[in-house]
Copies of this chain bind each other. A is one copy, B any other.
Amino acid sequence: MNDLYAHLDAQFDRHLDRVRAFVRIPSISGEGKGMAEMAELVRDSIRGLGGTADVVPTPGWPVVTGAIDAGKPKTLLLYGMYDVQPVEGEEWLAPPFNGDVVNLPDFGPSMVARGVYNTKGPLAGLFNVLESIQTVGGRLPVNLKFVIEGEEELSSPNLPGFIASHRDRLGADATYFPFYCQDRHGKPVMWLGVKGIQYFEVACRGGTWGGPRTRGVHGSNAVWIGSPAWRLARVLATMMDDREGITIEGFTDDVLSPSAEDEELLQRLARTFDSATQLWMWDAERFKYDLQGADLLRRYLYTPTLNIDGIWGGYTGPGMKTLLPHEVRAKMDVRMVPNMEPERVRERIRAHLRRVGRDDLEVHFYEGYPPAKTSVREPVVQALIKTFRDLGHEPEIWPHLAGSAPFYLFRRVLDQPFAMGGLGHGGRPHSPNEYATIAGMRLFEQSVARFLFAFAEG
């Protein structure tokens, strides 16, 4: 390992260049820029390691898939994504697609770029590690397979189809998703699962119920013509109470209490959980609940969420314009906790609109997926825990993450346990000034190298 670490260290400037090359391609899946170029760069990175690799078309953005046969007994499936979130309307310290290193007050030298944390930095870092292992030792310790999608930020609408049709070629002992998982104090945080997500868009416009049908009209008509804006505000208000508890009938019926294993993890987690850092990360003065420790964490991890991601309609320019808008829209998402299924969530939202007499609202559901979890006892998880301990860090283990990724495909469809993480620190995903520290990128490479050997030996 020491030769390998020395090599990673010696090559680090070149390795940073690879990260920079990745973030410079503005592969925003929601907009379409740079997607083909980015897919080809990922494919060529796998081929550069002597693997087979293809850019496989889907009805949306392609999946890059491939394999490196090292002739070893164990096989790891590497999952990742090459797409990033939009930057529209955001103000950045540095251009979001340049890879500038900025000396951030709290973190020191850091790359500031869209995707450097979520997740092109870790993806490029993984290729750096594999290249160094081959250079120093000739052979990788495990066989690898790759599934690198281009629609994670769109909630992976075509990954299920891809996994189903390539199932036979994706067999492996476990799935691994590389990620920077140290918090700002250096503590590695491990998540043993993810919540599911159902994104949707609601449009309220004039129609048979009333309201202007095709254009906004003079605001004075609001006295006798119905308002889609009020209609949407009122129907939203029927879905949530003043404490932000969801009031859609049956919405939480499927939610299970934490399992015994999860409850044990929660109790242990509560000892190291740093609520001040969480509030700082999310720029808030307080949580929604007057809860602490395990009680707050239980709520955080086992409560589904109904979020308004955006809302818009009518006149939003400068100054005054009196207008009765004909259409108002909201983008929303549900985060599903264990045992919830997207189909039932969709049914309950539709049933709620019928119940309150508002099924004239148009609801467009994006592809949704359920949550997924792996046991802490799985060898792939134990290999990652061992890696952190070997490198001098005691990980903080979370039963799962509040965020979402389509791990159910690996867990449920391919029947593989999974692990995610690695040393390294970054932040502000989906926000301006997304960053990853330079020091963390070095640690990430060491941790991934060690993990691959630990998994091979485990």
Contact = CB atoms under 8 A, between A and B. Distances in A.
B317 A216 contact: no
Given A287-B225, A308-B229, A317 B220 contact: no
Of A212, A282, A305, A366, chain B has the most CB atoms within 10 Å of the CB of A282
Interface string A391-406: 0000000000111100
A325 B309 CA distance: 7
Of A89, A197, A317, A326, chain B has the most CB atoms within 10 Å of the CB of A317
Interface in A140-154: 153-154
A223 B402 contact: yes
Nearest to A157: B320
A407 to B, nearest CB: 14
B215 A195 contact: no
Interface string A22-33: 000000011100
A314 B310 contact: yes
A284 B224 CA distance: 10
A270 to B, nearest CB: 14
A237 interface: yes
Nearest to A328: B311
A316 interface: yes
Contact of A154 (B88, B215, B284, B319): B319
Contact of A220 (B86, B153, B206, B402): B402
A284 B221 CA distance: 10
Of A30, A219, A233, chain B has the most CB atoms within 10 Å of the CB of A219
Interface string A245-288: 00000000000000000000000000000000000011111111
A323 B429 CA distance: 10
Contacts of A318: 30-31
A309 B287 contact: no
Given A224-B296, A288-B225, A431-B218, A213 B283 contact: yes
Interface string A202-228: 000011111111111111111111110
Interface string A308-336: 11111111111111111110110101010
A242 interface: yes
Contacts of A213: 283-285
A331 B322 CA distance: 9
Contacts of A74: none
A240 interface: yes
Contacts of A328: 308, 311
B303 A331 contact: no
A209 B221 CA distance: 36
A199 B314 CA distance: 15
A204 to B, nearest CB: 11
A403 B310 contact: no
Nearest to A300: B224
Contacts of A312: 311-313, 316
28 contacts: A30-B318, A86-B319, A154-B319, A154-B320, A195-B220, A199-B320, A210-B287, A213-B283, A214-B283, A215-B283, A216-B430, A220-B305, A220-B401, A220-B402, A221-B402, A222-B306, A222-B307, A226-B284, A227-B244, A308-B314, A308-B328, A309-B314, A309-B320, A309-B323, A309-B324, A315-B331, A316-B329, A322-B430
